[in-house]
Amino acid sequence: MENNLILPALILVPFIAGFICWLVDKFDQHLPRWIALIGMLITFGLGIALWQTGTYSYELGGKAPTWAAEFHLPWIQTLGISIHLAVDGLSLLMVLLTALLGVLAVGCSWGEIQKNVGFFHLNLLWSLGGVIGVFLAIDLFLFFFFWEMMLVPIYFLIALWGHSGSNGRSRVYAATKFFLYTQIAGLIMLIGILGLVVYGYMMTGMIGFDYSYLLAVANHLPPQVAYVFMLCFFVGFAVKLPVFPLHGWLPDAHAQAPTAGSVDLAGILIKTAAYGLLRFVIPFFPAASAQFADIAIILGLIGIFYGAFLAYQQTDMKRLLAYTSISHMGFILLAIYAGNILTFQGLMIMMLAHGLSSAALFIMSGQVYERLHTRDLRLMGGLRGQLQYLPFFLMFFVAALVGVPGLGNFIGEFLILMGSFKAYPAFTIIAAVSLVFAGLYGLILIHKALFGEPNPEQKQHYTSPLKDLSVREVSILMVCVIGLLWLGLYPQTFLDMSHSSMQWLVNSYMPVQEVVETVQQAATQLEQVEMR
């Protein structure tokens, strides 16, 4: 396959645009905003071009995914490291989501960020470039490079431009907590990567980090070794997803992050972990993953209820939304380890829909704070009678988040639950019950923010009448509205795009899963016979 230059361009454009933003900041404070916006629009346009020119088909019996486009350039040949980028339906949809939310993140920061504007956009765009690198890299050294690199700019986003209502110490604490959690998780994952490379060298006498090479190595590991390496990868991804009980960094990071940082975290960053589980853990370690499936799904179910219960108790709007993300990521774990085409396709729709709905709600949290100077739901109330557009959008995106039919989240949850029922009926019923709690925290958010009377104490801190959403703010939210309606009313566009990637994953995982289940059933029956 010929090198496709669009792939490196997707990564380089955000990095170059971010660097230019930093350089021109001293000339004009508005220039970095326009350069960042143009850079992310170009990135999104390149993604659309790749969609139109690529062929997203499935090769039956293929030992590796059928890539729609590749770019390969030798780098450190002694260690078998290369700049190897590739795209299929799964990674392209994630790249498009990243670029689109990048455009929205730049737009929602237009009036919020007033100091060090150039350096802010450098960090924002470099974090987005790192995320795109994660989605495109199929050399595991390059993947790990982008995986760790994107954390540094996010640290600066939280520490330097965090919540203006808190002191600097709180912002630095949240940023440091995020950095430590993710760095330790990354170190554990690195152990798994290097372990694979060492085993590959012992088997073949060759050092390499390429995806297809390490996939072949991983599928010939002794079962106990494969299980240990699988756990290393799982922990590395589980912290960033985040999976209970490894979620401690997320609420603080969201509470202190600027609006664009929260869009980055909820809409994009945690999706890299789900992508990693799909791209590496399931195909590299299918037998170990099938053995671990019950534990992973139980952790997911705990996360679903734990996140919903704590969201129900929150008074800070952003912390409430952060806990809803933990709850929704439990569904992602259920979908991944149920491991059939319905759950994988539902997972794809849910990641896209959650990215749009959660990003929109975090953007709206910033818009509410700009007007009321608080995120405390106890100090809100009465917004429905004071504003025209903001209440409509808030109700729409809360409805999307809790899974109202006709919107993308509903399609994702429906496919996941339908696909999971055959393999895990009890777990699926328990997960379905959690949707009631999602409705509860959604109603609480709407009721406290929009209905009732304005808080007289807080009303003294803002000008009345309140200023409704501007054209820029409405335009940003309408992009998310259109995306969620598209996903909810005609998801076939995205299902067709991701089908070949998901079918390859199913074919990698399902036969092994069935064998493991058969062995476990036989062992159980043997124990029963011996007891008699």
Q: What confidence score (pLDDT) does residue 315 get?
A: 83
Grouping H, G, I as helix, E, B as strand and the rest as coil, residue 374 is coil
> What residues contact 61, with CB distance under 8 A and at least 6 apart?
507
Per residue, the 3-state secondary structure of 4-19, as one string, reads CCHHHHHHHHHHHHHH
Return d(Cα 399, Cα 417) in angstroms, integer. Answer: 19
* Residue 518 backbone phi and psi in degrees, to 5: -65, -45
Question: How many percent of the chain have pLDDT more than 70?
Answer: 90
pLDDT tens-digit series, residues 35-76:
999 999 999 999 999 998 877 665 555 556 778 899 999 998
Burial of residue 482, with CB atoms counted within 10 A of its CB: 0-12 exposed, 13-18 middle, 19 or more buried: exposed
* pLDDT for the residue 461: 57
DSSP bridge partners of 69: 87
What are the pLDDT digits (tens) for 151-210? 999 999 998 888 755 555 688 888 999 999 999 999 999 999 999 999 999 988 899 999
Q: Summarize pLDDT for 429-467 with one digit per residue, the tens.
A: 998 888 888 888 888 888 888 876 766 665 655 666 678
Whether residue 410 is contained in a domain is answered as yes
Closest to 380 (Cα-Cα) out of 446, 317, 454 = 454
- Domain assignment present for residue 354? The answer is yes
> Closest by alpha carbon to 123, among 154, 144, 101, 89?
154
Query: What pLDDT is attached to residue 10?
Result: 96
CB of 394 within 8 A of CB of 357? no
Residues 6 or more apart from 8 whose CB is under 8 A from it?
Answer: 71, 83, 85
pLDDT for the residue 100 = 95
Domain extent at residue 377? 306-532
User: Two tokens at 301?
Assistant: 């179910």
Residues 6+ apart with CB under 8 A from 269: 127, 131, 150, 154, 240
* 277-316 as b/e: b if 16+ CB within 10 A: bbbbbbbbbbbbbbbbbeebbbbbbebbbbbbebbeebeb
State residue 479's pLDDT score: 94
Q: Can you read off the two tokens belonging to residue 279?
A: 């791209």
Could you identify the residue written with the tokens 């990693």? 276
pTM of the model: 0.91
Model confidence over 297-306: pLDDT tens digits?
Answer: 999 999 999 9
In a domain, 193, yes or no: no
Q: What average pLDDT is seen over the chain?
A: 87
Asked whether residue 415 carries a pLDDT value surpassing 80, the answer given is yes
Domain membership of residue 188 (yes or no) is no
Mean pLDDT, rounded, for 314-322: 87
Decide if 174 is inside a domain: no
Quick one: which H or E segment has residue 83? strand 81-87
Residue type, 75: W
Cα–Cα distance, 327 to 309 (Å, whole number): 9
pLDDT band, very low/low/confident/very high, at 528 (cuts 50, 70, 90): low
Q: State residue 85's pLDDT score.
A: 95
Q: Which residue has the tokens 């989240």?
A: 409
Least confident residue range of 162-166, 190-194, 276-280, 290-294: 162-166
Q: 216-225: string of b/e by CB count within 10 Å (b at 16+)?
A: bbbbebeeee
Question: Is residue 353 predicted with pLDDT exceeding 90?
Answer: yes
Other CB atoms within 10 A of residue 198 CB: 12
Question: For position 526, what pLDDT does the model report?
Answer: 55
pLDDT digits (tens, 9 = 90+) for 204-242: 889 999 999 999 999 889 999 999 999 999 999 999 988
Please give the pLDDT value at position 81. Answer: 92
Judge contact between 135 and 88, C-beta under 8 A: no
What distance in Å separates the CA atoms of residue 77 and residue 86, rounded to the nearest whole number? Answer: 19
What pLDDT does 13 receive? 96
Query: Domain for residue 91, yes or no?
Result: no
Pairwise CA distance, residues 444 & 317, whole Å: 11
Q: What is the pLDDT of residue 519?
A: 47
Least confident stretch, 54-68, 106-120, 263-277, 478-492: 54-68
Q: Does residue 83 sit within a domain?
A: no
Percent pLDDT > 90 in the chain is: 50
Number of domains making up the chain? 1
160 vs 374: which has the higher pLDDT: 160
| Residue 413: inside a domain | yes
Containing 74, the helix (H) or strand (E) segment is strand 69-76
